[in-house]
Amino acid sequence: MKLPAMPLAWLGTVPFLLFALLFLIAPAAFLIVGAFQDSSEHFTLDNIANLFQTSILDAYWISIKVSAASAIGGAAIGFFLAYAAVSRGLPSSVRSTLMTFSGVASNFAGVPLAFAFLATLGRTGLVTTLLVKYAGFNIYSTGFNLLNFWGLVITYLYFQIPLMVLIITPALDGLKREWGEAASILGASRMEYWRYVALPVLWPSLLGTMLLLFANAFGAIATAYALTGSSLNIAPILLYAQIRGDVLHNPNLGYALAFGMIVITGLSNGLYIWLRSRSERWLR
């Protein structure tokens, strides 16, 4: 029996499928298997049980709070930026400039981003020095510290806000002008239009994008490690210490930590995909 020939269009997906297999599926499978093994590669549940230690639960909780704070802040600021860009009150060049910058800034992270913020808002950073010299105001005298919780959140906002702009702009474009005109004809104010028409339509997109921003921040390690070192006990840094560290060296516990992070980010991404599918039905 002759098998049907594979359509040529599928050949274009081969590089993507290979990339996903080699750099996503295979490493995730390796981590999951390692989470249920001991150092002798025997099956055990001890690694999963150790995730409920106080220090590890605290690390997860701090990571959740940092991710949630940066996701909420990034979603709020990014939404208003995107709305200002797609509204017809600004020149079209503003939108193109914002989208170009967002495409670059959303991928700017890791050690370069940490260095940029240290050079700008560190104790001897440019902005800090200028404020002291010309305004007589030292931001560190107010208790601000770039190397603590809120400093990390502010740093994460640099790539969270542009990512929000990129994702929510198509949803804002999907709001039909006829909906606003119909609401106006029926006597609805601008606030009522947003309350009863626009926000209910955009709500799945907004919530889904916040979940995506949460997952994006939850898995970030390079920026946090370069900025705070080990002073802020978040899950990715603790994971790095377990796998690569000299003191906390327990690779299998590190695999279990990674497995927990996969579960959390997987749930966030799964809810995002579900919410996006709901919003697309309205915005077609």
In a domain, 25, yes or no: no
Q: Cβ of 105: how many Cβ atoms within 10 Å?
A: 18
Q: What is the pLDDT of residue 63?
A: 94
pLDDT band at 179 (very low <50, low <70, confident <90, very high): confident
Q: Residue 230 pLDDT > 80, yes or no?
A: no
pLDDT band at 205 (very low <50, low <70, confident <90, very high): confident
In a domain, 243, yes or no: yes
In a domain, 144, yes or no: yes
Which phi and psi (to 5°) does residue 43 adopt? -65, 135
In a domain, 5, yes or no: no
In a domain, 21, yes or no: no
**Rounded alpha-carbon distances, angstroms, from residue 110 to 48, 72, 115, 197, 217:** 29, 21, 9, 40, 12
- Residue range of the domain that includes 201: 52-283
* DSSP SS3 for 43: strand
Residue of 244, 265, 242, 236 whose CA lies nearest to 254: 242
What digits encode the pLDDT tens for the residues 216-229? 999 888 899 888 87
Residue of 64, 5, 52 whose CA lies nearest to 264: 64
Find the CATH number of the domain harbouring 220.
1.10.3720.10
Least confidently predicted of 96-100, 150-154, 231-235: 231-235
Q: How many domains does the chain have?
A: 1
In a domain, 88, yes or no: yes
What digits encode the pLDDT tens for the residues 13-30? 888 889 989 988 998 899
In a domain, 42, yes or no: no
In a domain, 29, yes or no: no
**Helix, strand and coil percent figures for the chain, each rounded to 5:** 75, 0, 25
Least confidently predicted of 35-39, 88-92, 218-222, 256-260: 88-92
